[in-house]
Chain A
Amino acid sequence: GENVEQHPSTLSVQEGDSAVIKCTYSDSASNYFPWYKQELGKGPQLIIDIRSNVGEKKDQRIAVTLNKTAKHFSLHITETQPEDSAVYFCAAITSGNQFYFGTGTSLTVIP
């Protein structure tokens, strides 16, 4: 099956700085890569996603890049705000609808 690795496990940034979280995957057949934000005591919330036929996607302060050759994808958050503090998960999907999740990155934005 697919194996998704995520780094770093924890990340602290000053408010206004950028944050980058990286994930790698093992199955070259994976074709869809969502990112989820999970706040304490809540379920994961989709924040952005990218499909394998696209190299980059941006939504306001959030962007995702995908390198299919290297089998890695990254989440970029610019102009970070305290409300961005949460745990972020990357995921990959091959056939069917079974998502494989990374182990999460705990992001802290320091005011």
Chain B
Amino acid sequence: DAGVTQSPTHLIKTRGQHVTLRCSPISGHKSVSWYQQVLGQGPQFIFQYYEKEERGRGNFPDRFSARQFPNYSSELNVNALLLGDSALYLCASSFQRSGNTIYFGEGSWLTVV
């Protein structure tokens, strides 16, 4: 079975630009979460979506948004990119909304120059 898949794996953007990152959860998983991991730190929670609705939001500015599609895949959008947005963006999926193990994809490396 395929794990969590993310695309693109690497990308470079310029300050002020917009980026869209994509995630496909493990088959059968209905919850998708997004995390930001800055070099040398643990992952920081950005969003959780379950059944296409936002179920949780971390301490990130409104420049960050996300959505989940009927097939449970998800997109993370970041507007007006800043140098500090450079990080590994991780998508994780789980079967249910809460209390379940989450499984991470390999991440999307974003570099803002």
Contact = CB atoms under 8 A, between A and B. Distances in A.
Contacts of B104: 36, 43-45
A103 B38 CA distance: 10
B41 A103 contact: yes
Nearest to A45: B104
Nearest to A4: B42
Interface string A68-111: 00000000000000000000010101011111111110000000
Summarize A's interface: helix, strand, loop or mixed. Answer: strand
A34 B101 contact: yes
B33 interface: yes
Given A44-B43, A44-B90, A89-B43, A99 B102 contact: yes
B107 interface: yes
Nearest to A32: B99
A99 B43 CA distance: 9
Interface of B: 4, 31, 33, 35, 40-45, 48, 50, 55-56, 58, 90, 94, 97-107
9 contacts: A6-B42, A31-B99, A43-B90, A97-B98, A98-B56, A100-B45, A101-B44, A103-B40, A104-B40
- The 7 A-B residue pairs with the shortest CB-CB distance, nearest first, are A101-B42, A43-B104, A43-B106, A97-B98, A44-B104, A98-B45, A43-B107
Interface of A: 4, 6, 31-32, 34, 36, 42-46, 49, 89, 91, 93, 95-104
